[in-house]
Structure 1
Amino acid sequence: MSVRASLPRPVKIAGRRASVRLGTATAERRQLPSFIMVGAQRCGTTSLFRALMSHPLIHSANYHKGVNYFDVNYDRPFSWYQGHFPTTSVLRRRVKGTDGDPVTFEASGYYLFHPCAPERIAHHLPDVKIVAMLRDPVERAYSAWKHELARGYETEPFEDALDLEDQRLEGVVERMEADPDVQSFSHRHHAYVRRGHYAEQLQRMQRYLPAEQFHVVDSESFFTEPESTYGALLDFLGMPAAMPEKFDRWNGRPSSPMPEETRSRLRAHFADHDEALAAMIGRTPAWLT
């Protein structure tokens, strides 16, 4: 265990706050991300994040997997966001003796789904590359429900939560788009079905950023064929090949299986959305093969 990981939580929180204050004051010296993982939630992004962190030239935001600036922290100045990343001088020291230039990134699982995040990202980082990790939307919905239930953010059984989703999210996107200060608990934590409408979310992002800056990783392919899937991502990022010692799975939540009736209901719902995604990315998503 690292020294930082062994520290008491209040000490770690104080250290992060001090780091951000210092980072904000020295924002111009800090290296903004070359790419951002935008989600999707419960699709294996933590596992991919850890694989990327093993690369000698790839460095995350300080203290954070994700900064969540372009979704829930956009009321802060952009210098606050810059302050989360390492300085260029620190990065040069880290990669001394390694061929290639260092890059930074972050991974915030709400960016893909947040209606305002794409325009904000494009405004501040017009050349940034976007990595979206997608999973079978049926399995993603169930995994998200288990996740929110375990965190205390959900109290309803899965089938009831699905039935309540339209009511919980009615008019929310319109309010968020009309007022940048609006945040919605249900939009962030109760969108089990809507977060699986991947083509809609990618299309919204591509209104502001060109398609060639996007790369889609299928979660199923990453876990069954990690070397080739990860290698294709490194090619997209323009990074030299450097494989982790091993590819681990993080943040899984074992539980009882989904009822088959519910699975069939969701599979039918997502059929058109999966078809739209396949047309958009030019291949059949791995969960359908």
Structure 2
Amino acid sequence: MTIRSAVPAELRVAGRRAAVQVGRASAGWRPVPDFLVIGGQRCGTTSLFRALMDHPQVRRPNLHKGVNYFDVNYSRGQRWYRGHFPVRGPGSQTRVFDASGYYMVHPLAAARIARDLPQVKVIALVRDPVERAWSAYKHELARGFEWERSFLDALRLEDERLDGEVDRMLRDPDHQSFNHRHHAYRRRGEYADLLAPFVAGLSAERVLVVESERFFARPAEQYERVTSFLGVRPHQPARFDRWNARPGSGMPDAARDLLRRHFAEHDERLGALLGRPPAWRVPA
């Protein structure tokens, strides 16, 4: 048991509220993020987050891995957002960041980020979208957010579940769609479409795409790409751990075939963005 877990839940909640109030009051002395990890879900974002936390020049939000500001908390305002970050003194070489696996897919997030943080850099992790969809399904099932016991049935229901949800979110920026957030198994793997508004709003130079297959196969090499992109000094964590992994076996063949056909065109367009085929499309 950790010291934090030993503290009663109501006291932890009260402490977080007090910290946010103090942060909001001192927002003028707090930075906005220098970079964002925008997802994707089940693509290794937690593993990269942990590795970034090891860098002596990088600082995370004070209370959470991610603040979820540009997706579900935008109405709280920028002072609320800035209040989550550590104070940075004049001339400091530290970089602060925020991470949310929902930023990449939320229909309003890219425009909000480009408008509010035009100089920000973003890092997107992508993974074989077939395996990502299966991992996400198991994740949502384990959390109780998915109740279809058949992955194929969940895939077949996706269009019905998401029908009209994006339009509703665009009409009502405060609307939070449960189905869009938890049941978008195919949609979250259509990476070229999801990355396009970030490239358009920020420029390709400010968007770094990291394939999780390459990150986990050669973490030191990919971490060096990340630190170079961020403009921080070279650094290597003592170890790279894989967080929140779920076993990848057991996907029904029919679901795999359906998804592989669905993502063929999307993978080609991602390859055009990367300048090479995605790692999962390269023969072993």
Deviations 1:146-178 (A, max 9, x none): 111011100002110000000000111112112
Match of 2:240, SS state, is coil
Q: Which residue of 1 aligns with 2:125?
A: 133
Q: Is 2:181 aligned against 1:188?
A: yes
Match of 1:206, SS state, is helix
Q: Which residue of 1 aligns with 2:54?
A: 54
Shift of 1:198: 0.3
Q: Which residue of 2 aligns with 1:77?
A: 77
- Classify 1:256/1:232 alpha carbon distance in 2 versus 1 (closer, same or farther; 3 Å): closer
Q: Is 2:75 aligned against 1:86?
A: no
Deviations 1:177-228 (A, max 9, x none): 1221222100000000011000001112223211110000100011110010
Q: Which residue of 2 aligns with 1:174?
A: 167
Shift of 1:252: 1.2
Q: Which residue of 2 aligns with 1:239?
A: 232
Partner AA of 1:212 in structure 2? E
- Classify 1:255/1:234 alpha carbon distance in 2 versus 1 (closer, same or farther; 3 Å): closer
Identity, in percent, stands at 56
Q: Which residue of 1 aligns with 2:243?
A: 250
Of 136, 139, 159, the match for 1:144: 136
Q: Which residue of 1 aligns with 2:38?
A: 38
Unaligned runs of 5+ in 1: 93-99
Deviations 1:104-130 (A, max 9, x none): 001111000000001111111110001
Of 186, 200, 205, the match for 1:207: 200
- Rounded to whole Å, the distance in 2 between the matches of 1:10 and 1:255 is 37
Q: Which residue of 2 aligns with 1:153?
A: 145
Retained in 1: the 8 A contact 2:135–2:248? Answer: no
Partner AA of 1:203 in structure 2? A
Q: Which residue of 2 aligns with 1:102?
A: 94
Shift of 1:253: 2.0
- Rounded to whole Å, the distance in 1 between the matches of 2:5 and 2:223 is 27
Shift of 1:277: 0.3
- Classify 1:31/1:141 alpha carbon distance in 2 versus 1 (closer, same or farther; 3 Å): same
Shift of 1:10: 2.7
Q: Which residue of 2 aligns with 1:97?
A: none
Partner AA of 2:230 in structure 1? L
- Rounded to whole Å, the distance in 2 between the matches of 1:183 and 1:217 is 28
Q: Please, what is the CA RMSD of the aligned residues?
A: 1.6
Shift of 1:256: 4.6
Match of 1:75, SS state, is helix
Q: Which residue of 1 aligns with 2:67?
A: 67
- Rounded to whole Å, the distance in 2 between the matches of 1:246 and 1:215 is 22
Of 222, 234, 251, the match for 1:229: 222
- Rounded to whole Å, the distance in 1 between the matches of 2:246 and 2:11 is 29
> What is the TM-score of this pair, normalised by structure 2?
0.95
- Rounded to whole Å, the distance in 1 between the matches of 2:233 and 2:6 is 33
Shift of 1:265: 1.4
Shift of 1:13: 2.1
Match of 2:75, SS state, is coil
Q: Which residue of 2 aligns with 1:95?
A: none
Shift of 1:74: 1.1
Shift of 1:287: 1.4
Shift of 1:6: 4.5
Unaligned runs of 5+ in 2: none
- Classify 1:266/1:255 alpha carbon distance in 2 versus 1 (closer, same or farther; 3 Å): closer
Partner AA of 2:204 in structure 1? A
- Rounded to whole Å, the distance in 2 between the matches of 1:283 and 1:28 is 43
Match of 1:56, SS state, is coil
> What is the TM-score of this pair, normalised by structure 1?
0.93
- Rounded to whole Å, the distance in 2 between the matches of 1:8 and 1:193 is 39
